[in-house]
A and B are shown apart, each in its own frame.
Chain A
């Protein structure tokens, strides 16, 4: 018996799910995974999956895997949202909703955590991986293997987050898990530990990615591409990555301190023995606020590519756009206290942070005007990415207004932690981040897969999302002003109910919009011959990623690229230079990283480590740690990690591209 408890830590059968909803998920998720595995076996696709995807160090493939995982998680997060709104549509005045309080609290924690860490971050890292190297004329990331490690740490965190549903339950403490509620005293069970370790592991991956992106952008740009000739999307990635590199260590340290409190009975954030939960709240938001900008800046970058391309006109005010990005980066680090004006700081402190917060509205507003004046005197082609842009301006601007309102501390005291706040941040995150990334996916899809997405369905998805958003969140603003606070699993005032029902209908419309996206992909695969991208430049693009064929080859660029100006590809086309191939001397042997399974193994080891820490299986913790270190050390001795594509081969392939272009 003692041996068993030594082996299994604190596991017991009591932790199996008991609620119908969680039992359903606990049975459904493994069945789904089994179904996929069976299909892979039946179609003999395991080798293809392993060699072409899972072990690939090609940034574009890693990027696609990020996006696939993130889209699956988007459905998980949306179903969570649906559960929340189903509950609040019913559970009024003593009527019980479909879920008990424990389930409800775990679901809103999971919804927030999944949507931020595994959807928004996943889509962002995915898009960056797919196009950032292509846009700066690089063949790969600076550290391709580290990139794969980042991805697998992301996956390990995602899996831990979902395993909680099957065994042990998730944290009921909200997406940022304030102690003392998440401390040992009030929540000793494994739920909070699942939350900690899924974020800790995914967060480490994010930090590695941030560093990787910075080095890639600073060291691997094409010849002639000075920083001020670089497109805005890579600029936004650079700025975001600086934020990641500075902010994520704070998250790692904060979660580490909280887990020391929980695993070793320390007192960093307890209320007694000299601990101080206010310290946690400061630290978590010192990461959390930059995190919001980490997500939204790349979305700004995407629109800075989408709008000029479809307006067929140079971006208005390039230098201002760069300056605005850098200004936002700077200010995003000195506003974190606005998340807790109500914690009792003095008037001077509150006023300072409030004013810093509203200052961010200035560069953000300038960016919006610059996009608008990019449309001015343009010839706008209203594809799905442009419809996403219109929805973005409408939604994000409204979110900006409520943001500026909440930046006034005296006003925040009346709306903080109410549904007004919930509506506000969905207004900016859905309007900014989600709409931006969906525009980006539609825009760059042909570059990766060689065919466009069927546009009408993309536009319909944008309309549904926009209408669904209004239905789901405008009622929440009013509810907040009526006194409805966030995270209520039931309430007593029947006049709130119609608002909650309309909001629930809004979630259904958003779900329909998301289903439309999936249908769009399926339909486009079916019609891929008609939607094929023959010349690699389906939108008559401006930046150099459109100069290579679609799907982009593993090596990205056949010849050594020389960039002379912004929108280099557009002006090359204007001058007719895109028709003459470069001289043979421009083709050099190219070395690319070979496939490697060791990134996947590091992710597996890290996941095991987290699982062991959650369940107090100390032997497994040690085994997992030793395993990860061993894999990393072995990789460092792997001298045969690259393969070469000879210049001749590249030239032959490239000449075919030029031949097609001239035909």
Chain B
């Protein structure tokens, strides 16, 4: 094939691939790029900014690659300028040391700033006080505890719109991770300790949440729904739960049943009568708690059973 033909085939393949991806993306629901929360919104901006900044280096690389490959191919009938000893030029090298250094310098500044402004541990400023929600990753379900509202939910979390929520996260399972792409930022859930994540939804709707870290056989089924409702609806929902006579309270028996490994996809609502439940779950992995609090011995015994 002549070079022109090869070029035509190459362009044809690129066009085909571009068409294929255009068709795939058209109409796809891309959560990270369609943010519904303040954190995810800023992350989307950051996403586009870093691509644009990288393009300053990447686009010239691709252009130079195509140009040099085409112009200096040995089959080029108009080949000229062969210079086998041209191998050093400190001015040119200064350019391609300098430009990336400036770009990375800018990005480093942005990184420093956003690492703080988008730190998952940082509380989101709002006229409303942040609502604490405690999250326990289990094999393979998500338990949400609302200590202030006295409510507990399984596999779904209700959040008021435009009110910050502070998640405290732990696990009573292998390491898991909590992520609602439409709202932003994920954080690991780990046994015996608490990590924090602050999010605030800005649009009503139902968003999907996932565990991003493999934690055993039922991992793929470990998704949940984040239900963003109006602020008033949130409080009336919580009150409805606490005053309902048909909703049971979560107790140690129910919790122990939940933490037995199983896939459980249904969304369940409980009353939370023991505001210390979360602390007990975290504390069950700490040696001093085992000696101080006899009721934790049962939990510890359950862990030891796994060894045999």
Over the window 102-137 of chain B, the binary record of Cβ atoms lying under 8 Å from chain A Cβ atoms (1 yes, 0 no) is 001001101110111111111000000000000000
A414 and B40 form a contact (CB under 8 A): yes
Specify which chain A residues have a CB less than 8 angstroms from the CB of B112 in the assembled complex: 351, 355
Task: Give bound CA distance, A518 to B284, whole Å.
Answer: 56
Specify which chain A residues have a CB less than 8 angstroms from the CB of B11 in the assembled complex: none
User: Given that A379-B82, A410-B115 are contacting pairs, would A397 and B87 also be in contact in the complex, using a CB cutoff of 8 Å?
Assistant: no
Smallest CB gap from B42: residue in A: A410
A365 and B57 form a contact (CB under 8 A): yes
Task: Give bound CA distance, A655 to B147, whole Å.
Answer: 89
Let me know if B243 is at the binding interface, CB within 8 A: no
Which of these binds chain B: A17-25, A482-490, A646-654? A482-490
User: Given that A347-B119, A478-B24, A483-B181 are contacting pairs, would A405 and B51 also be in contact in the complex, using a CB cutoff of 8 Å?
Assistant: yes
Smallest CB gap from B122: residue in A: A347
**Contact-residue size bin, chain A (C-beta under 8 Å from the other chain):** 35 or more
Over the window 88-105 of chain B, the binary record of Cβ atoms lying under 8 Å from chain A Cβ atoms (1 yes, 0 no) is 110011001100110010
Task: Give bound CA distance, A391 to B263, whole Å.
Answer: 44
Let me know if B54 is at the binding interface, CB within 8 A: yes
User: Given that A188-B306, A376-B68 are contacting pairs, would A498 and B24 also be in contact in the complex, using a CB cutoff of 8 Å?
Assistant: yes
B31 and A483 form a contact (CB under 8 A): yes
Which residues 295-343 of A have a CB within 8 angstroms of B? 311-318, 320, 340, 342-343
B46 and A478 form a contact (CB under 8 A): no
Task: Give bound CA distance, A174 to B213, whole Å.
Answer: 10
Which of these binds chain B: A270-278, A283-291, A585-593? A270-278
Q: How many residues of B contact A (CB 8 A)?
A: 100
Smallest CB gap from B109: residue in A: A355
Specify which chain B residues have a CB less than 8 angstroms from the CB of A490 in the assembled complex: 220-221
Smallest CB gap from A542: residue in B: B84
Let me know if A28 is at the binding interface, CB within 8 A: no
In the complex, which of the residues B31, B65, B196, B216 contacts A482, with contact meaning CB atoms closer than 8 Å? B31
Smallest CB gap from A357: residue in B: B111
The smallest beta-carbon distance between A640 and chain B, in angstroms, is 49
Which of these binds chain B: A69-77, A210-218, A466-474? A466-474
Which of these binds chain A: B204-212, B231-239, B245-253, B268-276? B204-212
User: Given that A105-B214, A405-B47, A478-B25 are contacting pairs, would A358 and B306 also be in contact in the complex, using a CB cutoff of 8 Å?
Assistant: no
B213 and A483 form a contact (CB under 8 A): no
Let me know if B164 is at the binding interface, CB within 8 A: no
B87 and A485 form a contact (CB under 8 A): no
B46 and A378 form a contact (CB under 8 A): no
Which residues 51-91 of B have a CB within 8 angstroms of A? 51, 54, 57-58, 61-62, 64-65, 68-69, 72-75, 79, 81-89
In the complex, which of the residues B108, B210, B211 contacts A355, with contact meaning CB atoms closer than 8 Å? B108
Over the window 192-226 of chain B, the binary record of Cβ atoms lying under 8 Å from chain A Cβ atoms (1 yes, 0 no) is 10011000000000001011111111111101000
B177 and A417 form a contact (CB under 8 A): yes
The smallest beta-carbon distance between B82 and chain A, in angstroms, is 5
In the complex, which of the residues B51, B84, B121 contacts A312, with contact meaning CB atoms closer than 8 Å? B84
Let me know if B186 is at the binding interface, CB within 8 A: yes
B47 and A394 form a contact (CB under 8 A): no
Let me know if B17 is at the binding interface, CB within 8 A: yes
Let me know if A495 is at the binding interface, CB within 8 A: yes
User: Given that A411-B43, A482-B29 are contacting pairs, would A394 and B119 also be in contact in the complex, using a CB cutoff of 8 Å?
Assistant: no
Let me know if A46 is at the binding interface, CB within 8 A: no
Smallest CB gap from A413: residue in B: B185
Task: Give bound CA distance, A178 to B179, whole Å.
Answer: 19
Specify which chain A residues have a CB less than 8 angstroms from the CB of B182 in the assembled complex: 483
Specify which chain A residues have a CB less than 8 angstroms from the CB of B117 in the assembled complex: 410
Let me know if A366 is at the binding interface, CB within 8 A: yes
The smallest beta-carbon distance between A491 and chain B, in angstroms, is 7
B50 and A405 form a contact (CB under 8 A): yes
Specify which chain B residues have a CB less than 8 angstroms from the CB of A404 in the assembled complex: 50, 54, 107
In the complex, which of the residues B28, B51, B87, B108 contacts A313, with contact meaning CB atoms closer than 8 Å? B87
Let me know if B154 is at the binding interface, CB within 8 A: no
By DSSP majority rule, is chain A's interface helix, strand, loop, or mixed? helix
A378 and B82 form a contact (CB under 8 A): yes
The smallest beta-carbon distance between B227 and chain A, in angstroms, is 16
Task: Give bound CA distance, A361 to B97, whole Å.
Answer: 11
Let me know if B8 is at the binding interface, CB within 8 A: no
Let me know if A517 is at the binding interface, CB within 8 A: no
Which of these binds chain B: A126-134, A224-232, A244-252, A367-375? A367-375
The smallest beta-carbon distance between A432 and chain B, in angstroms, is 15
Which residues 227-279 of A have a CB within 8 angstroms of B? 265, 271-274, 277-278
Task: Give bound CA distance, A128 to B249, whole Å.
Answer: 65
In the complex, which of the residues B21, B86, B111, B210 contacts A409, with contact meaning CB atoms closer than 8 Å? B111
Let me know if B160 is at the binding interface, CB within 8 A: no
Smallest CB gap from B33: residue in A: A481
Smallest CB gap from B306: residue in A: A185
User: Given that A375-B68, A417-B177 are contacting pairs, would A397 and B96 also be in contact in the complex, using a CB cutoff of 8 Å?
Assistant: no
User: Given that A366-B96, A372-B65 are contacting pairs, would A408 and B84 also be in contact in the complex, using a CB cutoff of 8 Å?
Assistant: no
Which residues 354-406 of A have a CB within 8 angstroms of B? 354-355, 358-359, 361-362, 365-366, 368-370, 372-382, 390, 393-394, 397-398, 400-401, 404-405
Specify which chain A residues have a CB less than 8 angstroms from the CB of B101 in the assembled complex: 362
Specify which chain A residues have a CB less than 8 angstroms from the CB of B110 in the assembled complex: 408
Smallest CB gap from A566: residue in B: B87
Task: Give bound CA distance, A320 to B213, whole Å.
Answer: 40
The smallest beta-carbon distance between A161 and chain B, in angstroms, is 19
Task: Give bound CA distance, A368 to B57, whole Å.
Answer: 11
B213 and A417 form a contact (CB under 8 A): yes
In the complex, which of the residues B25, B50, B219, B287 contacts A487, with contact meaning CB atoms closer than 8 Å? B219
Let me know if A344 is at the binding interface, CB within 8 A: yes
B72 and A362 form a contact (CB under 8 A): no
Task: Give bound CA distance, A342 to B210, whole Å.
Answer: 14
Task: Give bound CA distance, A416 to B178, whole Å.
Answer: 11
Which residues 164-178 of B have a CB within 8 angstroms of A? 174-175, 177
Interface centre among B73, B174, B306 (most CB of A within 10 A): B174
Smallest CB gap from B16: residue in A: A467
Q: Which 9 residue pairs spanning A and B have beta carbons closest together?
A: A271-B191, A351-B115, A181-B174, A410-B118, A417-B212, A413-B185, A410-B114, A344-B195, A185-B306
Which residues of B are in contact with A by a Cβ distance under 8 Å? 13, 17, 20-21, 24-25, 28-33, 40, 42-43, 46-47, 50-51, 54, 57-58, 61-62, 64-65, 68-69, 72-75, 79, 81-89, 92-93, 96-97, 100-101, 104, 107-108, 110-112, 114-122, 174-175, 177, 179, 181-182, 184-188, 190-192, 195-196, 208, 210-221, 223, 285-287, 300, 303, 306-307
Which residues of A are in contact with B by a Cβ distance under 8 Å? 101-102, 105, 172-174, 178-181, 184-186, 188, 265, 271-274, 277-278, 311-318, 320, 340, 342-344, 346-348, 350-351, 354-355, 358-359, 361-362, 365-366, 368-370, 372-382, 390, 393-394, 397-398, 400-401, 404-405, 407-411, 413-418, 467, 470-471, 474-475, 478, 480-483, 485-493, 495, 498-499, 502
